[in-house]
Structure 1
Amino acid sequence: MIRTPEQPRDPLAWCAAFALAFWLLLVWNLAVPSAPYFDEVHYIPAARELLALERYSNREHPLFGKEMIALGIAIFGDNPWGWRIFPSLAGATALFAIMRAVWFGTLSRFAVIAAGILIATGFPLFVHSRIAMLDIFMVAALAVAFWQLAAAMREPEEGRWRLALTGIALGLAMASKWNAIPIAAVPGLGFLVLRWSAGRRRLFLSRRGSPVPGITLLEASVWLGIVPLVVYAVTFWPGYWFENYHISQGIAAHHRLMFELQTQVLKSHPYESTWPEWVLNLRAIWYLYENVDGAQRGVMLIGNPLTMLLGLPALLWCATRGVAQRAPVHTAVVILYAASLGLWLFAAKSTQFYYHYFLPSTFLLVALALTLDDVWKAGWRKMAAGTLVASTLIFAFYYKILAAEPLARPDSFAAWTWLEGWR
């Protein structure tokens, strides 16, 4: 008799526990600083105006992220908790969804844990989960979208409702920031390419073949194409009801205005940077560095000095394995990294900043998790586990200037600014 192959156990409980622990760390001293800082000075007033519907400002960005900040203010009050509670929940949701996406993509418990540790200790997710900015809502929505998409591919009997959730999440991602648009197009294009490569004679109506058997290409175009656009459009509904500067000439005219505002030439900024500096982790942004709430405090945005660099050869490994061994998850993460970073190679935006690397760096860390999983399976377990431990220790060392903890002196920043570009 032949033994039934062992089925890997779903680490769902571990994913939930890890996301909860991450959220509890996020909300520790979430109200510090007690005044808006960095780009909160733009988005918190915009959220207040959403509640009052008096003046439509900050029109260069879509509304969903600001609607979530406004919801927090409506529930918890116009205070630091109200401003930041939904960004913190979005951060925990993003971490959970990424771990679930990796699980459905790989069925590897080690890959799931590695992805959770690397992204939680990678710096950008932590920092953006504690500030009322729009990027965290975009990343969280995309993470949910790829979780549901991976689950639909793994369990096609649930494919229909999971693809519907994928479409909703993609719409909310685009409605948070336009950075999501190149990535939001990938699931639909991927479905088309995979179904085309299956050689189906009835390309649009066949229910057979990958990526989700039972779903026709025509139906997939609804869930992955039409639904995201409808959801995206619905989030602009409050924009029609402002007393001043409301959407008066239709959504198309409003988007022309948004594009003009996005592409206007701005004054140079001391923290602006370029994509090669992001990739090499050479240029930081200080979201905060001043005496506030009774102490010297700082919030520095940079990538984890270890994992952001290890992620580069990991991407090469994933690309090589994707081509040579046709490993679909490895291939997908390389494509997503290239698409999210490639936007900034051609974007008509006069000033760019390291926070634009938040989304590409998330895919980079997933690539590193997949690579460490391969290392683990190859028998080099100390190397794989040691990388995760090292990432956690570096995060612990930087924690004070990621979470606005009290610093000893005005020049304390020197302990963490290892490169001139980090000052």
Structure 2
Amino acid sequence: MNPVHYLVYLFPIATLLALFAFFYWYWGTQRAPLAKRLITPPEEAPREQPRFTFAGRCHPLVRRDAIPILLITAVYAVTAFAHLGSLRAPQSAWDFGSGESATFSLPEAVQVSQLWYYPNLGTGKYQVEISEDGVTWLTLWSRTETDEAGSEETVYYWADSTGYGESFAMTQNYNQLFKWNELTFENPQYIRYLRITGQANKGLLELGEVALFDMAGNRVEVPGSVSPLFDEQDMVPDKPTYYDEAYFDEIYHPRTAWEHIRGIEPYEISHPPLGKLIMGIGIRLFGMTPFGWRFMGTLFGVGMLPLLYVFLKNLFGRTSIATCGTILLAADFMHLTQTRLATIDTYAFFFILLMYWFMYRYLTLPAGTPFRKCALPLFLSGLFWGIGAASKWTVIYGCTGLVVLYFIGLYQKVRDWPAEQPGRVKWVFQILGFSVLVFAVIPAAIYTLSYLPYAMAEGDTSLTGLISAMWENQKYMLSYHSGVTDSHPYSSRWYQWLFDIRPILYYMDNDVAGYTTRFAAFVNPVVCWGGLLAVASCAVQAVRRRCARALFIFIGYLAQLVPWFFIGRITFAYHYFPSVLFLVLALCYVFHTLAEREEMVNWKPAMFAVTGGAVGLYALFYPVLVGIQIPTWYSNNVLGWFPSWPF
């Protein structure tokens, strides 16, 4: 190994040392008793509760909060939407599901070296035949060859009926949809006529576009064609990349969203439907294009930032802390990469944020608050828990924390009810009955109604048919997820997530010598490592200071992480994504406890240094978060912090 490469290890060492130094200093400031303030703005004054309680002030926004909210959101939106995906992709398609054949002619015979094709919906395979004169036909065959190293390669060649191999050589499997698939021929032939015959596995077999390339690599023009297979030739990219086609789990979720839009029975049913229905809004707006199926997730990722800002301001009451916390989420690697990917994890995070925010607003209401004032935050917390659960089961895991916090808060409100105020028993029955409605009945209704596209595809939209479609899918999902045990080169377990040990690589392209294009999902090390130390600090402060806010954050973090201790299916780094919310909250809690001692410590430079460190790493790693081509020396000597990182 080049000795220069070892310099890359200075980056993680420096980051860790800086974080440990910060927390060593932090705990040094916490040893002294909290100083009394002589003149303190009431909205920033620390409240000392006689008992452990969540009740307290929920700090509102002020006019000056508009500037950081708008600025952070706008800057992040630019980085998130930049080069998100193409607005152009084949939209028309030829359905070969009935097993029909289609014949196409070129103006003149051309020697063709490659054939690209862009599948739409359906799976199956195609028989491809060519002719120079329209009389004698050659069939495209495929065979698998093994080289001396034992590697297998599929070879495509033209032959008559004596050919050996698979004559339905052009496949359309589930993992090939909405991608440009390339066939390179071993023995190029002159083509004047092209005949394609489909063989569907079930129902549809839609082929979106076909492109032919001559020996020089130039695309063969098919002038004046009105066929769905040659009518969008200007959408054929020079070189297919993630920008032009689906990657990773985009072969599942956008396809399902498109099937829901078209009223077709969905292929991917391993998650609840609502996340795909939300994704479908972008497809309706921008077409079945990479930008269209990624748009809503990226928009939700942008929307998380102002919501988090308000949450942080409610929690801690300081514009500076809310600003830095929002920047920490905006600078998180996984937040950027995951929300630019058309999967449903973004929606889970978004609704987890909302359900905890409104639960906190309910918990801060003092004992004796009338039922009518408690109802709205409880309703909104339950509503967003129901919407989130109908998007992904990850939200259901987080509900355990919500339930724990709810009952702790209920106990405290009953315990601290003013002795002189009547109506405690009535209030308890009202709250319990309303909670059953908003946390059980309404979420169950939302969850069931999200299966309406399933019932419509099956032709039975009655209540019985809807419930049946929902229930059968629950049984399937339980069976499916318990059986996902195959190995994967980028899988990881929960204890690896805590330390950023194994990112998941979503895309890699090393076609240009000396350069690489790739991106992966993992947490910004400042947020990951610093947040973990901050979560531990919350656990200590919840006991040491009897601090409810610290307990709130610690319970939320455990609720998202602990269920993964007992899940045996294969897991990946992105399953840690919802926990990032509580890592950020925990770091902001540390900033808050420093701010309480501002008469004794100059805390803001330390907070700005931590936040600035996260922003610096965001800039350093930005190319491998969004897929910008970089020199391999930069990847190896700057970004490859650990051998397990795919850079």
| Contact 2:449/2:466 (8 A) holds in 1 | no
Return closer, same or farther for 1:3/1:387 CA change in 2, 3 Å cut-off: closer
Partner of 1:7: 43
Distance (whole Å) between structure 2 residues aligned to residue 50 and residue 23 of structure 1: 28
| Contact 2:494/2:565 (8 A) holds in 1 | yes
Measured against aligned partners, the alpha-carbon deviations of 1:116-174 in whole angstroms (never above 9, x if no partner) come to 11111121111112110110000011112222333344466754233222222111111
Partner of 2:613: 390
Tell me which amino acid in the other structure corresponds to 2:43.
Q
| Contact 1:204/1:218 (8 A) holds in 2 | no
Structure having the higher Rg: 2
Tell me which amino acid in the other structure corresponds to 2:625.
L
Partner of 1:359: 578
1:413 positional shift = 5.4
Distance (whole Å) between structure 2 residues aligned to residue 100 and residue 221 of structure 1: 27
Does 1:175 pair with 2:211? no
Distance (whole Å) between structure 1 residues aligned to residue 381 and residue 315 of structure 2: 15
Partner of 1:144: 354
Distance (whole Å) between structure 1 residues aligned to residue 440 and residue 400 of structure 2: 8
Does 1:326 pair with 2:546? yes
Return closer, same or farther for 1:167/1:271 CA change in 2, 3 Å cut-off: same
1:346 positional shift = 0.5
Distance (whole Å) between structure 1 residues aligned to residue 327 and residue 490 of structure 2: 28
Does 1:401 pair with 2:624? yes
1:300 alignment partner, one of 503, 514, 520? 520
1:219 alignment partner, one of 395, 419, 434? 434
| Contact 1:127/1:402 (8 A) holds in 2 | yes
More helix by share: 1
1:43 positional shift = 1.1
Measured against aligned partners, the alpha-carbon deviations of 1:207-233 in whole angstroms (never above 9, x if no partner) come to 38xxxxx97232233223322222222
Return closer, same or farther for 1:37/1:97 CA change in 2, 3 Å cut-off: same
1:27 alignment partner, one of 50, 64, 81? 81
Distance (whole Å) between structure 2 residues aligned to residue 203 and residue 19 of structure 1: 45
1:29 positional shift = 1.3
Equivalent residues in 2 for 1:175-254, closer than 5 Å: 175-199=390-414, 205-207=425-427, 216-243=431-458, 249-254=468-473
Tell me which amino acid in the other structure corresponds to 2:559.
A
1:275 positional shift = 1.0
- How many equivalent pairs are there? 416
Distance (whole Å) between structure 1 residues aligned to residue 609 and residue 634 of structure 2: 32
1:332 positional shift = 0.9
1:182 positional shift = 2.2
- In the alignment, structure 2 segments of 5+ residues that lack a partner are 1-37, 45-59, 86-241
Return closer, same or farther for 1:377/1:405 CA change in 2, 3 Å cut-off: farther
1:343 positional shift = 0.9
Measured against aligned partners, the alpha-carbon deviations of 1:166-205 in whole angstroms (never above 9, x if no partner) come to 2221111111211111212433442223222444599995
Return closer, same or farther for 1:223/1:244 CA change in 2, 3 Å cut-off: closer
| Contact 2:363/2:409 (8 A) holds in 1 | no
Tell me which amino acid in the other structure corresponds to 2:297.
P
Name whichever of 173-182 and 15-24 sits farther off: 15-24
| Contact 1:300/1:401 (8 A) holds in 2 | yes
| Contact 1:124/1:303 (8 A) holds in 2 | yes
Distance (whole Å) between structure 2 residues aligned to residue 183 and residue 121 of structure 1: 24
1:46 positional shift = 1.3
Return closer, same or farther for 1:272/1:35 CA change in 2, 3 Å cut-off: same
TM-score after normalising by structure 2: 0.60
Partner of 1:44: 254
Partner of 1:109: 319
Return closer, same or farther for 1:186/1:205 CA change in 2, 3 Å cut-off: farther
TM-score after normalising by structure 1: 0.89
1:244 positional shift = 9.3
| Contact 2:363/2:406 (8 A) holds in 1 | no
Distance (whole Å) between structure 2 residues aligned to residue 48 and residue 419 of structure 1: 39
Distance (whole Å) between structure 2 residues aligned to residue 417 and residue 44 of structure 1: 32
Identity %: 22
Measured against aligned partners, the alpha-carbon deviations of 1:355-413 in whole angstroms (never above 9, x if no partner) come to 01111232122211211232344323222211111111111100111111222359845
Return closer, same or farther for 1:244/1:404 CA change in 2, 3 Å cut-off: farther
Partner of 2:644: 421
| Contact 1:286/1:300 (8 A) holds in 2 | yes
Return closer, same or farther for 1:397/1:215 CA change in 2, 3 Å cut-off: farther
2:310 alignment partner, one of 96, 100, 117? 100
Distance (whole Å) between structure 2 residues aligned to residue 15 and residue 145 of structure 1: 21
1:81 positional shift = 1.7
1:57 positional shift = 1.4
Partner of 1:211: none
Return closer, same or farther for 1:178/1:346 CA change in 2, 3 Å cut-off: same
Alignment RMSD (CA, Å):
3.0
Name whichever of 361-370 and 191-200 sits farther off: 191-200
Equivalent residues in 2 for 1:359-378, closer than 5 Å: 359-378=578-597
Distance (whole Å) between structure 2 residues aligned to residue 286 and residue 203 of structure 1: 58
SS of equivalent to 2:252: helix
SS of equivalent to 2:505: strand
- In the alignment, structure 1 segments of 5+ residues that lack a partner are 209-213
Distance (whole Å) between structure 2 residues aligned to residue 165 and residue 266 of structure 1: 37
| Contact 2:405/2:552 (8 A) holds in 1 | no
Distance (whole Å) between structure 2 residues aligned to residue 344 and residue 219 of structure 1: 31
SS of equivalent to 1:299: strand
Name whichever of 331-340 and 247-256 sits farther off: 247-256
SS of equivalent to 2:507: strand
1:20 positional shift = 3.4
Distance (whole Å) between structure 1 residues aligned to residue 292 and residue 527 of structure 2: 33
Return closer, same or farther for 1:411/1:371 CA change in 2, 3 Å cut-off: closer
Distance (whole Å) between structure 2 residues aligned to residue 340 and residue 117 of structure 1: 22
